[in-house]
Amino acid sequence: MKQFNDHQDIAFAQSAKLVLLLAVAIIGTVLLSSLAATYVVAVYLYSQGLEPHQCWPVLEGAYGFFCVIFGSIVSIGTIYKLMQLKEGGAVIALGLGGRLAEPESSKEERQLTNIVEEMAIASGVHCPDVYILSNDEGINAFAAGYHKNEAVIGVTQGAIQKLTRDQLQGVVAHEYSHILNGDMAINLRMVGWLHGILCITLFAKWMIRKGQQILCCRHRRGAIGLAFGIILLGMAVWLVGFIGAAFALLIKSATNRQREYLADAFAVQFTRHPLALANAFKRLGGHASGSRVRSAAAFEASHFFLSDACGSQWTGLLASHPPLAQRIARLDPSWDGMPVYEEVDMESREIDQALGMQVAPVGADASEFDEQVSDLEHDSYRQEILGELPEEITQIVALPQGAELIVAAVWLNELGDTTSDRAGNGSRLNETQVANTAPMQQLLAQFSAAQRLALIDLALDVLPSQPMENSALPLLEELKPNSHYFDWMLRAAVQRIRGEQEMPSALYAKIEKVGKAAEYALSYFCHAGNSDSMAGFAFQRGIATLGLEHAEFLGAEQMDWEQFEASVELLSQLAPVPKRNLLLAMAATIAADNEVAEDEAYLLRSLCLRLGFAPTRLLVGQSVAPCVC
């Protein structure tokens, strides 16, 4: 493993070579543009019948003239851009939407200012002002300014909220490296030089337009030849200028990537903790908002930031920052390649809110929420459903063995199966269970779907305290997988109780990465609980909530249970935040027709369980309303 000082030496050497290459590219662009323009002049002179010995003196003078012209254009364009950028770091921070940190306002901002002061001591650099980009949830930071004494450090709100103290210290140390090594001034000068080269192409475009204007004035004698000459001259210069600008942009991007590697290495030197910045990058890689900065000025200032601030508009050779995975691997060679995704503990109240239900504030007593609605709406509905049940049933379900009995009876009843069939086919149900379950099945058959589902909820709350070896639930192993939604839901619930549920690793940070699977699962869900005419409307509600553009609603003839399960399996590999958003999108489709259908209740509970969240307690027939935010 290379030590951080080895990485520093490599980055310094590479940066020096790239800066030299940029200077060569600028000079080469001026010389080649002049040569291209001179060639056009030579063609014109040859067309006029001049001999070569007569042309050389003219061409030499023309070449020198064009070198002066194009050199001046580059110089003036560079100086003009540098004058525009020669503003203090505070002006740049304010332009990005930043505000001065207020250590007394919050614990996070006080911690950040303390870290900045610590790193000032560690790096030996003057302590800069600290700015907060309070409107940005992405994890990012920047250093800006021409000189060390007027530089500032900016940190996004997402960074100070999502990163640990050590991780935030690594990020701040990275920005101090940019201040110490003069990277900000280098980047600003490169932007100026690149703008100077682009001015050659702007001048060439002006020449082409001027030639076109002359060409339109046909009443002028000899104007056509002059117009074509100017147009050809402009096209030749534009082509060379464009190629030169492209090379300059490639070199600028490569230089910035090397300076980022250099800053990463210096961050290790300042913190003496290689994993601090590495863990911050891992957290960034799994963050739902990534490193995006909302400000319109972020594109021009993208090279100031810790990581790409513009949503990866450029990749590969044009990328302003090295790939995140490479930066992590340099700092932590033992990294397994997995980002650190944000943990989400979604409660049923979030789905209730998505369905437009009244929900008491977190930590508030329901009676304090509203005296007139002291019971939450869904609790009132549940109480009404349970109140219609015979008292002996509610007493039985509260007992461990009674809970097992009711689960088995409801399950067999939903599947249209009988205990006698099971007992006669080598079932693991013993005679006592057969005797008790059969009459219970007959009784439960008279209940509504909402009542049976409410009973299952009560039973599942009791079952976890019981040893599963002697339970009636080994029926799980006897029943073959099928597309019966109640069966699918109960299987997932029992697997969760038994501790058999294993969630796959999170591989996708954004829903767009598995967009086709989300499209299929959402289409299937909409067909399960709606008529064909209503399903399309429900799908659009869900897609609008999820933010998936260009998603296509699939017809009922395309729906297949095995493909649906495969889609859900793929979606289970999403990071927690997009998983939660997917479930909220499903809830939005339910609200499309203002009522919870039986299949919707089963499927949504199943999906909650399959995606690793506690299931919602929505009941069949429950009235819901679209959420108006």
Read off φ and ψ for residue 219, nearest 5 degrees. -70, -15
Rounded distance between C-alpha atoms, residue 186 and residue 172, angstroms: 20
The DSSP code for 106 is: -
Nearest to 585 by CA among 531, 528, 540, 532: 540
Rounded distance between C-alpha atoms, residue 192 and residue 252, angstroms: 11
Burial of 436 (0-12, 13-18, 19+ CB in 10 A): buried
Choice among 137, 175, 260, 404 that is catalytic: 175
Three-state SS across 480-537? Answer: CCCCCHHHHHHHHHHHHHHCCCCCCCCCECCHHHHHHHHHHHHHHHHHHHCCHHHHHH
Strands 129-133 and 99-100, bridge-based pairing: antiparallel
Strands 152-156 and 141-144, bridge-based pairing: antiparallel
In which order are the strands placed within the sheet that holds 152-156?
Answer: 99-100, 129-133, 152-156, 141-144
Sign of CA dihedral 555, 561, 563, 565: positive
| Residues, the chain | 629
Nearest to 150 by CA among 111, 193, 92, 102: 92
> Identity (one letter) of the amino acid at 34?
S
> Is 175 part of the annotated catalytic residue set?
yes
The conformational region for residue 167 under phi > 0 = left, psi -120 to 50 = alpha, else beta, is alpha
Rounded distance between C-alpha atoms, residue 598 and residue 591, angstroms: 14
Cβ-based neighbour number of residue 47 at 10 Å: 10
Rounded distance between C-alpha atoms, residue 104 and residue 47, angstroms: 78
538 within 8 A of 551, measured Cβ to Cβ: no
Rounded distance between C-alpha atoms, residue 166 and residue 276, angstroms: 5
> Identity (one letter) of the amino acid at 255?
T
105 within 8 A of 91, measured Cβ to Cβ: no
The conformational region for residue 111 under phi > 0 = left, psi -120 to 50 = alpha, else beta, is alpha
Task: Compute and round to an integer the Cα radius of gyration of the chain.
Answer: 34
Residues annotated as catalytic are 175
